[in-house]
């Protein structure tokens, strides 16, 4: 991963961890897919801040 992208990833992982940024906004800002961002967050040991209902609502929006 390029240095700039790695910098952005670290920045947005921290913002996501603090609840200051959504996973989709973080992915968009970095230029990766939501799925990739979710994998990066999981690898960094960050748990989702969404509850099940919020997750289901997000899935509906993707349809």
- Quote the pLDDT of residue 35: 86
Report pLDDT digits (tens) over 9-32: 999 999 999 989 888 899 999 999
Specify whether the CB–CB gap between 27 and 6 falls below 8 A: no
Specify whether the CB–CB gap between 41 and 32 falls below 8 A: no
The whole-angstrom separation of Cα 47 and Cα 1 is 23
* Residue whose token pair is 């952005």: 8
What is the pTM for the complete model shown? 0.75
Helix, strand, coil % in the chain, rounded to nearest 5: 70, 0, 30
């Amino acid at each position: 991963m390029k240095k700039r992208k790695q910098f952005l990833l670290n920045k947005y992982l921290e913002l996501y961890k603090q609840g200051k940024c959504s996973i989709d906004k973080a992915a968009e800002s970095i230029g990766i897919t939501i799925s990739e961002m979710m994998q990066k967050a999981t690898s960094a040991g960050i748990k989702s801040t969404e509850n099940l209902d919020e997750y289901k609502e997000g899935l509906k929006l993707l349809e």
